[in-house]
């Protein structure tokens, strides 16, 4: 395999110190991902560099940051896809979140929005199985079938949304309205609403979406859907909520 | 926990940051720019109309200035703003209620092409009549 010499221009910030950009050069395999390059910088150049990573395969969303200005997951972004060989790869933290240190942002606002719906986003398109293979089984061990717990009618895998916060960073409206429920929060409301017909819950969820910082704050840049690494399509969910709210208002109008 | 937060001005500047972004973001930024431009124009227009209070001579002087190539060029720019804002507004009305979501980029290109053709015809008329 060929090795590449890659320059990384990394955003740096430590509390009490002014922000700056530091440039590091690393030798790395051409098949490597951006997270591998960040790991190398941390291991060989600067152990004070702060960043998040865990799964290395786009399941946890914790490593999300901006690569050359665009929100991406460095664990699945190949070095060769973002390196032109001339200019350094610029790495910056997500936008629209308070910056804690270097590439790490405080994502608590994201989870506050998600919890407003009372549920996590779940996938409609997944197959539901009465029995499923134990996902923790070791590769060369015969897979163990897991019994469906009594209180569940079916298994329901967590949806594509990996709660990385990329959509909130990509959204230009989030930049000037910190109370905006945001793409992930509104997509979660959409999913929660379509999981229930209970009138009280539906009224609560649509009330959230119809609020001052709800779906009508979205100004249709569609960047959330463009940037989402898991095809959740938050913009589509927001527009669908708008349609339902508008239809309900029209129905009320004609009933009167 | 001490964190770094950007100023409101820097945050608002992100409305116009279209670097490496897709068609939807370009449409968003264009709508904001033309929207602000049209609001400024509205006040200018009201100011110009107030010349009528000063009598016919001041209005005739203005009409003379309004026919200069410079002001006619401003008229074309104004029309471009109206077309971009209005046609993109139609696109947003369609997609904003969940219709043709998958075609929002194509819709943007189509309405901008319609706008460009209309602007070209109008510009020729403005400078030749």
Q: Give the CA distances from residue A28 to residues A37, A66, A90, B24, in Å, rounded to whole numbers and listed in that order.
A: 7, 20, 16, 35
Question: Lowest-confidence range among A130-144, B16-30, B77-91?
Answer: A130-144
Q: Which residue has the higher pLDDT, A145 or B107?
A: B107
- Is residue A250 within 8 angstroms of chain B, CB to CB? no
Q: How confident is the model at residue A148 (pLDDT cuts 50, 70, 90)?
A: low
Domains plus CATH for chain B?
A: 21-128 (1.20.1300.10)
Render A66-122 in DSSP notation, one character per residue: EETTEEE-TTS-BHHHH--SSSPEEEEPPSSS-EEETTEE--HHHHHHHHTTTS--B
- Is residue B8 within 8 angstroms of chain A, CB to CB? yes
The per-residue pLDDT for A45 is 96
pLDDT surpassing 90 at residue A132: no
What's the pLDDT tens digit per position in B9-64?
888 888 888 999 999 999 999 999 999 999 999 999 999 888 888 888 888 888 88
The end-to-end CA distance of chain B, in Å, is: 66
Q: How far is A120 from chain B (nearest CA, A)?
A: 23
Write down the mean pLDDT value for chain A.
85
* Coil vs helix vs strand at A144: coil
Domains plus CATH for chain A?
A: 3-105 (3.10.20.30), 108-126+159-255 (1.10.1060.10)
Q: How far is B47 from chain A (nearest CA, A)?
A: 31
The per-residue pLDDT for A243 is 93
CB contact under 8 Å between A68 and B20, yes or no, is: yes
Specify which residues A105 forms β-bridges with.
Answer: A99
Nearest CA in chain A to B5: A98
Residues in B touching A17 (Cβ below 8 Å): none
How far apart (Å, rounded) are the C-alpha atoms in residues B27 and B32?
Answer: 9
- In chain A, the percentage of residues whose pLDDT exceeds 90 is 61
What's the pLDDT tens digit per position in A100-117?
999 999 988 888 887 777
* Coil vs helix vs strand at B38: helix
Comparing CA positions, the residue from A159, A134, A156, A147 lying closest to residue A228 is A159
Q: How far is A236 from chain B (nearest CA, A)?
A: 7
Nearest CA in chain B to A12: B4
């Amino acid at each position: 395999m060929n090795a590449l010499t890659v320059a990384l221009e990394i955003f740096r910030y430590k509390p009490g110190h002014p922000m700056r950009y530091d440039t590091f050069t690393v030798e790395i395999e051409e098949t490597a991902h951006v997270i591998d390059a960040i790991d190398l910088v941390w291991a060989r150049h600067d152990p004070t560099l702060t960043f998040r990573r865990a799964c290395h395969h786009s399941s946890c969303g914790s490593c999300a940051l901006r690569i050359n200005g665009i929100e991406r997951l460095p664990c699945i972004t190949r070095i060769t896809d973002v390196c032109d060989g001339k200019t350094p790869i610029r790495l910056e933290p997500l936008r629209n979140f308070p910056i804690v240190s270097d590439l790490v942002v405080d994502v608590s606002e994201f989870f506050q929005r998600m919890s407003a719906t009372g549920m996590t986003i779940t996938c409609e398109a997944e197959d539901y199985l009465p029995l499923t293979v134990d996902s923790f089984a070791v590769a060369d061990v015969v897979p163990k079938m897991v019994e469906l717990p009594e209180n569940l009618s079916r298994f329901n895998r967590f949806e594509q949304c990996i709660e990385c916060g990329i959509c909130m960073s990509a959204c230009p409206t989030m930049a000037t309205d910190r109370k905006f429920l945001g793409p992930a929060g509104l997509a979660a409301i959409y999913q929660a609403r379509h999981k229930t017909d209970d009138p009280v819950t539906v009224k609560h969820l649509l009330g959230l979406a119809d609020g001052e910082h709800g779906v009508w704050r979205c100004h249709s840049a569609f960047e959330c859907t463009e940037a989402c690494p898991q095809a959740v399509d938050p913009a589509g969910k927001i527009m669908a909520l708008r349609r339902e709210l508008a239809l309900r208002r029209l129905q009320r109008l004609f009933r009167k | 926990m001490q964190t770094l937060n950007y100023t409101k001005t820097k945050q608002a500047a992100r409305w116009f940051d279209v670097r490496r972004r897709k068609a939807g973001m370009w449409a968003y930024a264009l709508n904001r720019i033309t929207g602000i431009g049209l609001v400024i124009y509205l006040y200018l227009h009201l100011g110009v109309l107030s010349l009528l209070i000063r009598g016919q001579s001041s209005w005739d002087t203005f009409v003379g200035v309004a026919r200069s190539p410079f002001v006619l060029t401003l008229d074309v720019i104004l029309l471009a703003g109206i077309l971009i804002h209005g046609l993109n507004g139609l696109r947003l009305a369609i997609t904003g209620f969940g219709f043709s979501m998958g075609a929002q980029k194509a819709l943007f290109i189509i309405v901008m092409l319609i706008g460009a053709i209309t602007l070209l015809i109008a510009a020729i008329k403005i400078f030749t009549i």
